Structure 1
């Protein structure tokens, strides 16, 4: 569903002049020049919004031509400077006490259990990253941690806060027991609970109760023998195990769970972790591995790399955890029969959404297009492309008279005209590199069962990780990297896409989609709902929006309510980014290393240096800093490594399609973020199922690189000239992201 569509054509080419309320930080990039912002009024990428056509582009040899039509208009920052936070996740009290909110959800097993004993044959994945039945109600909670060590007192108070329902018998384990060499899968030094004096000393904790009712304290470091006073920097592994009140069971679901095993660093807060010797002891991940900043996901030792794209940001707050799971439920709900994609016989049917699927659609659930929150299903010859989007326009650039703005390939009416789009063939060519290596490249050929549209473009669904962090970037951070006239003469430009919000009419900077044609997650979600499922929302309230109807906003009631639209955007905002897998983990000698952690750090470091040397970073910007205006505190002021500038670049004629989208001509594409690209082989179910680039033509990292043209010609040529061992090192680096 998400982010593959480029949407109802609401784009406009406007020269940027920010309205009050912006905020931002410079990007760490060779081309980050804030002085360029004053020259962006000369941006040579224009076209009249009324024409909905773009004359931008050209190759890497000439600047895009054209001048803006009409008056220069200003853009509106996505978030104003006074945007309030949804939830405060960390603060200091006047005496120096550090207060941290740690959100948590139920899990089925432990973090280091991978389906069998460590020294036994591989028996399959663990169940640490799964979502148990009924996960979205009565089961999220959090710990409010009051760390007095910065105030000079060796004590930490922990309060259990329940989001919904009643917990009875929750246990709390702390400090991984590194003093016992037999502790492997799990084992802690301190095991405690939360006894409530208002409940006769019983371990009963309720939602909305005063936090002091359920608390525990510890005043020494249990990782040392004898115990020592707590000091800043001490590591405390936290492993709560929630238990619901069972008489009667609150909602028919389970009552006993485990939860995430998180690392708290005294005086610092929650930190993503990886396992070091002995026995995968918890250790904070180095900052350079945190692709999503503190929203990054810890290394996984339950051998579930296929689920790493589905996890909450590591720094998520307590209330925001409930927002996350409620949005996830919608993402997994069928708008045909209301069933959840997981445990459909046990999870309750979401009756409010039965029968809301449009008469035409591609899939009934968001998750159907995003395999495990990853990409579209890899299609074979003759297969229907119904987990991808086939965007369409007529010859005049408006909605195609048959399909609208995209082909909806399924119909609820069995007698409806079939609109199948299939992979007809692969055009094959062979690229011979300077050292003689031959690489086969393939380009998909599509067949339409209905009329072939005048303009069309196939778009695979990308992974949905880190979207909130991208939304949290200040406009100035992104615009600082733009070089529309190639002022530095390196052949690399980069231009922004200016988007008119379909609800407010305000102009925002485009961030999402293969052509940066959506400015916000709300816009993207609403666009995908209407186009992929025919489901209306406050963003696009009638199905006529999919066909460009002039009265598309006339409806008063929609399938997805305002609150549910917010839940979906909240969920997508709070999905974390897996940390870079560039470090060896501390598996004991003789124990099988999990495949995702079988890495070569020196090779990865060499590949990273070569990636920079051949100037891939000219577009794939390594480091940015998010702003401080996003509603989610988890996303504010984070140093992130998306490996994208989020700008449009000319990628040459070989990657161009036939569809024009406002100022994004067929050869202009947004730099795709590279974070998570190395996990695709696990998420998609194997290397053979991974597809890269907008239409999924590239079957490997190497193929994707060799398709780069236009502004990327120089970098690609330098890469091709590298010795094979160096090319392999670059690929190893990319596979670590």
Structure 2
């Protein structure tokens, strides 16, 4: 492990030498792109058009470093975390129902991602990050035996600094003209030699893993039309005026598909290949995105021939336009870690800086990935408290999924063991005298009392279904090394996908759903869990956590930080908050600054949701179909109908619409399919704990979102490492359903009465989500 490397002094080259280096870099970059990406395909060279009118200032990324005097001598800095937002949760007058919305009507945007100009030009801002390889590359040739995953969904070393960028796509086709101009925006530092591949060359039957019809660079007229692109400068561009997917080229028209694959290069030491700005890597690939002329960015899947790019149907977009495209690099284990598909350019930087914090140890500052190569985050060394559960957020949320499955007798230090009383004061339950609000099982001091908690054994019961099928159900029994608290609730960490979309659902819609339930003949009621905002004290609609006891991502993150990592933040600025201290907000200094807390919450808000895997992909004949894509659409469709027939949809609401007040444009106005109503329901005595959170007493639990549930078996490392329900007692989806009681009793009974083939179809549907 090493601290951040000191900048290496580099003498400024002469003008002649600098020009020669730039020409060599450009030639190498273009040659590599043409050779490695299987491109080429004739046609006219893109023209260099006159400068366009700049977009509104709010949508143009602003670099944190001033432009360098010489592009081969960039400023050698770590770019700062984006400044704190001025847009914060509101404290306006409460509604008639008594709650205050998170964001008031008329809330402004942090960043615009698409607009139409007066002359009809459609402008789309597309954020991008670095990756290691191409979207359709598996860990082996397409016709070879399986040898491992690809490296498209990975996060390379140093991904969190100086390596995010984006495209400004100016589409004049809707205005009746034949031109699309693309500007490259760099968030930090300098790119030198960046190439750009467009239009998948699907006419060539040999094009499989990669290959485009047009490979080019971004020309900067300030540097003799060389592809030298500087943060804060809107000067690197290219344009084209025909559709390169056809031979001969055809006029561009609304609905044409354009695959976009920029390949960024940082200004580098030509001898070592290392980036001058921070001594990290310098040459990368990026996400391969689909732009539809006259429409914008769209999540895609692969159709014949050879997994050609095609927009995913709306019905599969669980996260709306924020959904993650189908993945063909055989990395389903990383699918929960990807950005929203419609992410903006500045928000891409927010995403990676927040992700770094999510993966950083608050004990020694190391990153969970490439810990020997990624620089130590020295600002967070030694910030962890004397007692804690884990050093990093990611260690409880495996690959942004759920807690790892504990072995009998092992410490439950990647789960939460909530303790305390049944009484609630000022929105928080009473604390346990020994442990506070949860058991922090690790300690820095070697002589600290042992507060270990483990699963001692499992209670078992057998449920016999009407057709004679027997299902064993198990329930964990806990053992405490320290005093046994009066009230206990074991909680596994849930997956962290689509949380920003849920935050963007209007409170009025959640409240209205509860009101509609009151006359439900099936016994389904559903209540809003009204909770107090820990910072402002106002009442809000709860929507996060197993009992919907957290009102916002900020609230959720702040509570997890102090309770599980013993790290303070502006939400809970003192560690006595974990112990239930009534005056714990009296603190001037916190471990995480306001900017850092926002980085974590922004990261959580911008994680995408995998699209539903309900469609067959167009793999070539004779090529092994990736297991996650080996689906049966007819069986899934049947299971979807049965899901509604047996009344699961009464609580697991299939569809919602996000509102227009969230500060992130990516999350506004999206039709999403989370399969939750965000209400708490009485689930009966068998699932009850004896803890109250907000208005949710022991047997009340939030309807858990089902999106992503079918990817858990890969994210967690296998079906045997996947658990369901709040305490992880259910080993299969069938077991999870059979534990449903209370308001869900009728629905469970209907499921039990289905024929085996029908139950299998319903499970297949859930596995597609």
The TM-score with structure 1 as length reference comes to 0.90
312, 315, 322: which one aligns with 1:285: 312
After the TM superposition, which residues 492-531 of structure 1 pair with which residues of structure 2 at under 5 Å, given as runs? Answer: 492-531=524-563
Quote the offset at 1:550 in angstroms: 2.2
Residue number in structure 2 paired with 1:241:
263
649, 660, 673: which one aligns with 2:681: 649
For residues 465 and 231 of structure 1, the distance between their equivalents in structure 2, rounded to whole angstroms, comes to 35
Residue number in structure 2 paired with 1:722:
754
Residue number in structure 1 paired with 2:147:
123
Residue number in structure 2 paired with 1:93:
117
8 A contact 1:483–1:492 mirrored in 2: no
8 A contact 2:530–2:694 mirrored in 1: no
8 A contact 1:394–1:401 mirrored in 2: no
Residue number in structure 2 paired with 1:371:
398
8 A contact 1:327–1:567 mirrored in 2: yes
Residue number in structure 2 paired with 1:265:
292
Can you give the 5+ residue segments of structure 2 that lack an aligned partner in the other structure? 1-90, 270-274, 424-428
For residues 614 and 266 of structure 2, the distance between their equivalents in structure 1, rounded to whole angstroms, comes to 39
For residues 515 and 412 of structure 2, the distance between their equivalents in structure 1, rounded to whole angstroms, comes to 36
Quote the offset at 1:490 in angstroms: 2.2
After the TM superposition, which residues 383-402 of structure 1 pair with which residues of structure 2 at under 5 Å, given as runs? Answer: 383-394=410-421, 398-402=430-434
After the TM superposition, which residues 190-339 of structure 1 pair with which residues of structure 2 at under 5 Å, given as runs? Answer: 190-209=214-233, 211=234, 213-247=235-269, 249-339=276-366
Quote the offset at 1:661 in angstroms: 2.2
Residue number in structure 1 paired with 2:521:
489
422, 426, 450: which one aligns with 2:482: 450
Residue number in structure 2 paired with 1:80:
104
For residues 230 and 20 of structure 1, the distance between their equivalents in structure 2, rounded to whole angstroms, comes to 51
Quote the offset at 1:83 in angstroms: 1.2
Quote the offset at 1:493 in angstroms: 0.2
After superposition, the Cα gap between the structure-2 partners of 1:289 and 1:193, relative to the gap in structure 1 and judged at 3 Å, is: same
Helix, strand or coil at the partner of 2:309? strand
8 A contact 1:484–1:495 mirrored in 2: no
Helix, strand or coil at the partner of 1:424? strand
* 1:356 equivalenced with 2:380 (yes/no): no
For residues 101 and 434 of structure 1, the distance between their equivalents in structure 2, rounded to whole angstroms, comes to 56
Helix, strand or coil at the partner of 2:214? strand
After the TM superposition, which residues 580-729 of structure 1 pair with which residues of structure 2 at under 5 Å, given as runs? Answer: 580-729=612-761
Over the aligned positions, Cα root-mean-square deviation in angstroms equals 1.2
For residues 90 and 686 of structure 1, the distance between their equivalents in structure 2, rounded to whole angstroms, comes to 39
After superposition, the Cα gap between the structure-2 partners of 1:485 and 1:295, relative to the gap in structure 1 and judged at 3 Å, is: closer
For residues 601 and 94 of structure 1, the distance between their equivalents in structure 2, rounded to whole angstroms, comes to 43
Quote the offset at 1:489 in angstroms: 2.3
Helix, strand or coil at the partner of 1:481? helix
For residues 707 and 489 of structure 1, the distance between their equivalents in structure 2, rounded to whole angstroms, comes to 22
Residue number in structure 1 paired with 2:454:
422
Helix, strand or coil at the partner of 2:513? coil
How far does the alpha carbon of each residue in 1:619-645 deviate from its partner, in whole angstroms, 9 at most, with x for none?
Answer: 000000000000000000000000000
8 A contact 2:303–2:617 mirrored in 1: yes
Residue number in structure 1 paired with 2:48:
none
166, 182, 189: which one aligns with 1:142: 166
Helix, strand or coil at the partner of 1:654? helix
358, 371, 375: which one aligns with 1:344: 371
For residues 110 and 702 of structure 2, the distance between their equivalents in structure 1, rounded to whole angstroms, comes to 30
8 A contact 1:21–1:80 mirrored in 2: no
How far does the alpha carbon of each residue in 1:326-370 deviate from its partner, in whole angstroms, 9 at most, with x for none?
Answer: 000000000000000000111110000000001000000000000
Quote the offset at 1:523 in angstroms: 0.6
For residues 561 and 401 of structure 1, the distance between their equivalents in structure 2, rounded to whole angstroms, comes to 30
How far does the alpha carbon of each residue in 1:571-608 deviate from its partner, in whole angstroms, 9 at most, with x for none?
Answer: 00000000000000000011000010000000000000
For residues 663 and 644 of structure 1, the distance between their equivalents in structure 2, rounded to whole angstroms, comes to 18
Q: How many residues are treated as equivalent by the alignment? A: 669
Residue number in structure 1 paired with 2:582:
550
For residues 321 and 583 of structure 2, the distance between their equivalents in structure 1, rounded to whole angstroms, comes to 44
After superposition, the Cα gap between the structure-2 partners of 1:528 and 1:679, relative to the gap in structure 1 and judged at 3 Å, is: same
Helix, strand or coil at the partner of 1:236? strand
How far does the alpha carbon of each residue in 1:274-331 deviate from its partner, in whole angstroms, 9 at most, with x for none?
Answer: 0000000000000000000000000000000000000000000000000000000000
Helix, strand or coil at the partner of 2:686? coil
Quote the offset at 1:395 in angstroms: 6.7
* 1:167 equivalenced with 2:181 (yes/no): no
Helix, strand or coil at the partner of 1:229? coil
Helix, strand or coil at the partner of 2:279? coil
For residues 354 and 610 of structure 1, the distance between their equivalents in structure 2, rounded to whole angstroms, comes to 52
For residues 612 and 517 of structure 2, the distance between their equivalents in structure 1, rounded to whole angstroms, comes to 34
Helix, strand or coil at the partner of 1:299? coil
Residue number in structure 2 paired with 1:578:
610
For residues 727 and 431 of structure 2, the distance between their equivalents in structure 1, rounded to whole angstroms, comes to 20
8 A contact 2:522–2:746 mirrored in 1: no
Helix, strand or coil at the partner of 1:145? strand
Quote the offset at 1:485 in angstroms: 7.4
For residues 628 and 394 of structure 1, the distance between their equivalents in structure 2, rounded to whole angstroms, comes to 39
For residues 508 and 138 of structure 2, the distance between their equivalents in structure 1, rounded to whole angstroms, comes to 44
After the TM superposition, which residues 51-62 of structure 1 pair with which residues of structure 2 at under 5 Å, given as runs? Answer: none
Helix, strand or coil at the partner of 1:291? coil
Quote the offset at 1:551 in angstroms: 2.0
For residues 200 and 611 of structure 1, the distance between their equivalents in structure 2, rounded to whole angstroms, comes to 62
For residues 471 and 215 of structure 1, the distance between their equivalents in structure 2, rounded to whole angstroms, comes to 36
For residues 321 and 356 of structure 2, the distance between their equivalents in structure 1, rounded to whole angstroms, comes to 25
Helix, strand or coil at the partner of 2:556? helix
Helix, strand or coil at the partner of 2:206? coil
For residues 717 and 224 of structure 2, the distance between their equivalents in structure 1, rounded to whole angstroms, comes to 51
8 A contact 1:21–1:81 mirrored in 2: no
After superposition, the Cα gap between the structure-2 partners of 1:109 and 1:21, relative to the gap in structure 1 and judged at 3 Å, is: farther
Quote the offset at 1:20 in angstroms: 6.0
For residues 422 and 227 of structure 2, the distance between their equivalents in structure 1, rounded to whole angstroms, comes to 68
